[in-house]
């Protein structure tokens, strides 16, 4: 079986060079903004600043968990973190599991806090590791590695089921998450990786004491497809391709979780590829919008390339808000600006 570091390297290569996105859409295509020909504001009145878990942010975006570990991961993380700091948005790192066992991998995570001292940064580990002997000591270590503002625990049962040697022991995890959420002393956040969070799971997570949930729904990066592309056995590859489109579309997961948990900070991610779609997610109740794959190839190039993508999203979001007459994100959310798309 391949090492965690080797697996991460393959994930990066595949995500950079292969078609890893789902064919099916995110569900946001079912909504359309009600255009206001008399918005009664000017574009410069639009304010997209927000707050998340007590921190002020310049824009309602978060760079979702991606990488670390591999040498290439260090440069990618440096570019992502520098862009996050320059633009005033938070960043989450990729799984730090490899760095717990291999000290030489730590620098690729540590660099994030070095170049992003002014914005929230979040650590990341698989929740299922809590069933494999990981506890508060390991979680504190990954937090310490980047002086993180909080920790994302990722829930990825589909990916683990397709991956050779994947960790599929999800028994009693909600209880284990509750134990660490209570004991860690920093916020614990939970996320999927592209298959969505149901209202039942959202409720379990809320009862366990998580501080925020990233629904990371279907319609973007497909981890089942990525594992299928890596699989050596034909049966594993076939299973991965069969489930390549599996999951709750991002828009549906967001709407269901928002209805279940009106007060929970929610992040919408999974297939959000432009600022109009980001605006729809915010109007449907997301507190932040998360981006992973659209930033990866830019981050392989430079900080400026990452900033360009994020600034395009911000420009599109601002224009959408101007065109519905929403001065700020509160007005975008409260204003009932979305209608069902006519077919």
225 makes contact with ligand FMN (CB under 6 A): no
Q: Which two tokens stand for residue 40?
A: 């009664």
* CB-nearest residue to ligand FMN: 220
Residues 6+ apart with CB under 8 A from 267: 62, 191, 212, 213, 214, 215, 216, 286, 287, 288, 289, 290
194 makes contact with ligand FMN (CB under 6 A): yes
Q: Which of 193, 231, 267, 278 binds ligand FMN (CB under 6 A)?
A: 193
**Beta carbon of residue 80, minimum distance to ligand FMN (angstroms, whole number):** 11
134 φ, ψ to 5°?
-75, 145
**Beta carbon of residue 342, minimum distance to ligand FMN (angstroms, whole number):** 27
Q: Which residues pair with 220 in a beta bridge?
A: none
293 makes contact with ligand FMN (CB under 6 A): yes
**Count of residues that bind ligand FMN according to CB under 6 A:** 25
Q: Which residues pair with 51 in a beta bridge?
A: 56
Closest Cα partner for 154 from 122, 112, 106, 182?
Answer: 122
Burial (0-12, 13-18, 19+ Cβ within 10 Å), 249: buried
Binding mask 241-270 for ligand FMN (x = CB under 6 A): ----------------------------xx
Q: Which of 116, 143, 296, 338 binds ligand FMN (CB under 6 A)?
A: 296
Nearer to ligand FMN by Cβ, of 97 and 176: the residue is: 97
In whole angstroms, what is the distance from residue 30 CA to residue 274 CA? 15
**Beta carbon of residue 240, minimum distance to ligand FMN (angstroms, whole number):** 16
**Binding window for ligand FMN (CB under 6 A); candidates: 32-40, 102-110, 202-210, 289-297:** 289-297
90 makes contact with ligand FMN (CB under 6 A): no
**Beta carbon of residue 98, minimum distance to ligand FMN (angstroms, whole number):** 10
Closest Cα partner for 104 from 222, 5, 190, 197?
Answer: 5
291 makes contact with ligand FMN (CB under 6 A): yes
201 makes contact with ligand FMN (CB under 6 A): no
In whole angstroms, what is the distance from residue 290 CA to residue 269 CA? 5
Nearer to ligand FMN by Cβ, of 307 and 323: the residue is: 307
Helix (H, G, I), strand (E, B), or coil: what is residue 67? Answer: coil
């Amino acid at each position: 079986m391949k090492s965690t570091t080797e697996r991460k390297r393959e994930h990066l290569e595949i995500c950079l060079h292969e078609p890893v996105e789902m064919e099916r859409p995110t569900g946001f295509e079912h909504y359309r903004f009600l255009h206001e020909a008399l918005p009664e504001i000017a574009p410069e009145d639009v304010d997209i600043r927000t707050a998340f878990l007590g921190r002020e942010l310049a824009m309602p975006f978060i760079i979702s968990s991606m990488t670390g570990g591999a040498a290439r991961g260090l440069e990618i993380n440096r570019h992502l973190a520098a862009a996050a700091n320059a633009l005033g948005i938070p960043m989450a790192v990729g799984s730090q599991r490899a760095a717990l066992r291999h000290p030489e991998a730590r620098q690729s995570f540590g660099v994030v806090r070095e170049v992003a001292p002014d914005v929230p940064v979040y650590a990341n580990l698989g929740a299922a590791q809590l069933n494999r002997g990981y506890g508060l000591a390991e979680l504190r270590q990954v937090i310490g590695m980047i002086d993180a503002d909080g920790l994302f625990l990722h829930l990825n049962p589909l990916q683990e089921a397709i991956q050779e040697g994947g960790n599929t022991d999800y028994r009693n995890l909600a209880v284990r998450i509750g134990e660490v959420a209570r004991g860690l002393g920093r916020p614990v956040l939970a996320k999927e990786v592209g298959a969505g969070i149901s209202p039942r799971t959202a409720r379990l997570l809320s009862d366990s004491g998580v501080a925020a949930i990233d629904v990371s729904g279907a319609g973007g990066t497909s981890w089942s497809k990525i594992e299928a592309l890596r699989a050596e056995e034909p049966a594993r590859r076939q299973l991965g391709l069969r489930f390549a489109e599996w999951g709750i579309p991002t828009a549906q997961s967001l709407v269901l979780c928002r209805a279940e948990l009106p007060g929970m900070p929610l992040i919408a991610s999974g297939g959000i590829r432009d600022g109009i779609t980001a605006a729809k997610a915010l109007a449907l109740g997301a507190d932040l919008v998360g981006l992973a794959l659209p930033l990866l190839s830019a981050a392989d190039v430079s900080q400026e390339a990452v900033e360009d993508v994020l600034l395009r999203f911000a420009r599109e979001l601002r224009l959408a808000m101007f065109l519905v007459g929403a001065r700020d994100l509160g007005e975008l959310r409260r204003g009932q600006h979305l209608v069902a798309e006519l077919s």
